Amino acid sequence: MTQGAAEVIELSELRQKLSLGRPLTVKLGVDTTAPVITLGHAVAIRRLAAFQRLGHRAVFLIGDETGRVGDPTGRNEARPQVTDAQVEESVAAFLAQIGVILDLERTEVRRNSEWLRPLGFSGALQLASRYTVARMLEREDFLKRFRENRPIHLHELLYPLMQGYDSVALEADVELGATEQKFNLLVGRHLQREYGQQPQVLVMHPILTGLDGEQKMGKSLGNYVAIDDPPDEMFGKLMSIPDRVIPEYVQLAADRQDAEVQAVRQALADGSQNPRDLKARMAEQTVALYYGAAAARSASERFDATFRERAVPTDAPEISLADGDSRLVPVLVRAGLAQSTSVARRLCAEGAVRCGDEKLTDPDTDLRELVGSTLRVGKHRFLRLQP
């Protein structure tokens, strides 16, 4: 349950809780800034699944109310607040995605609006009285903005309290999260003490670097791999990472054991293996987690055929535009190149759909004008358009 964790606060407390002989309440929260579960999120979700397999109460917490504030962690400016429609889109997408990792029948899915909205203004004041501004300004991102005379909005100061109160409402024994969330998670421990509860244990995992090899993988940064990206798309994205982060991806994305991670580090250091081969093995292992070994192997073979030969595969699928709606998004969904309308729209917005050198960013593009052409979706998926 703690293997590969970057930090546990406190391990002795976890041992004590486990000795009680009852299922522990293990909490993992996600925000609703975008309807995507990334490989970065999956690190913690797999840990939640590990607790679940051991018989503990797994709570997948959707931050629909905190999402309206926006997590200020690591931000030099306030996040834009999301709308109710965006929240609901994210909730539906999360539920459609997490089942590949968690046993949904045994997962308790909650929304923090259940307890945060009923608090009201009086309750919010009571909550705010449990923490000081001085302690809040100890946060690195807040302190940096304060010193640089950048705005810190009052609602941002409430975010850690709202997230911390989630732990009080759920009476959490354990909270999972990335190391960057340490301040917020510690607020949860503090508030639980304030409300007379035993503080939760924090099990924190390393942050997965994004595809750019520079910043953390994040939905708002666009440098992510979604766990519902189709196998070919996922494989291709993973092959784009810089060589220096391959060991990190072997550990956190492919979920391999420490010995294999160390072997990859050694191979990169001494040049005993081609980095491209190490990356391809990691990509195949990662795709296999979500789609199985056969699909991962096929994605690897198609990648090789496409990129080594620099050609459109001869077996590229075809679709007849006469069989249904000829607009771009419905065609992508009908052809199986996007699992849902929201995923198809996301691909368009990201500029991932091309015809020749032209990006097709308008989801309502009528493809009848492009009959006979071949669409490229991402870097290595193709679709021939037939009348």
pLDDT tens digits for range 31-67: 877 778 899 999 999 999 999 999 999 999 998 888 7
Torsion sign, CA atoms 11, 132, 138, 165:
positive
Q: Are 100 and 159 in the same domain?
A: yes
| Enclosing domain of residue 373 | 318-386
Which of 70-74, 83-87, 174-178, 234-238 comes out lowest in average pLDDT? Answer: 70-74
Residues 266, 323, single domain; the answer is no
Task: Clarify whether residues 294 and 193 are in a common domain.
Answer: no
* Nearest residue to 163 via CA among 275, 289, 68: 68
Average pLDDT over residues 10-35: 89
Number of domains in the chain: 3
| CATH (domain of 27) | 3.40.50.620
Buried b (16+ CB within 10 A) or exposed e, 93-104: bbebbbeebbee
Distance CA 31, CA 70 (A): 8
Segment 271-298 mean pLDDT: 93
Residue 168 lies in a domain: yes
Give the pLDDT band (50/70/90) at residue 1: low
For residue 82, tell me if it sits in a domain: yes
Residue 214: inside a domain: no
* 220 part of a folded domain: no
Count other C-beta atoms under 10 Å from residue 171's C-beta.
13
> Residue 221: inside a domain, yes or no?
no
Identify the domain boundary among 309, 329, 352.
309
Cα 178 from Cα 73, distance rounded (Å): 11
Residues 268 and 153 in one domain: no
Helices (H) and strands (E) in the chain, counts: 15, 11
In a domain, 216, yes or no: no
Q: What's the predicted TM-score (pTM) here? A: 0.73
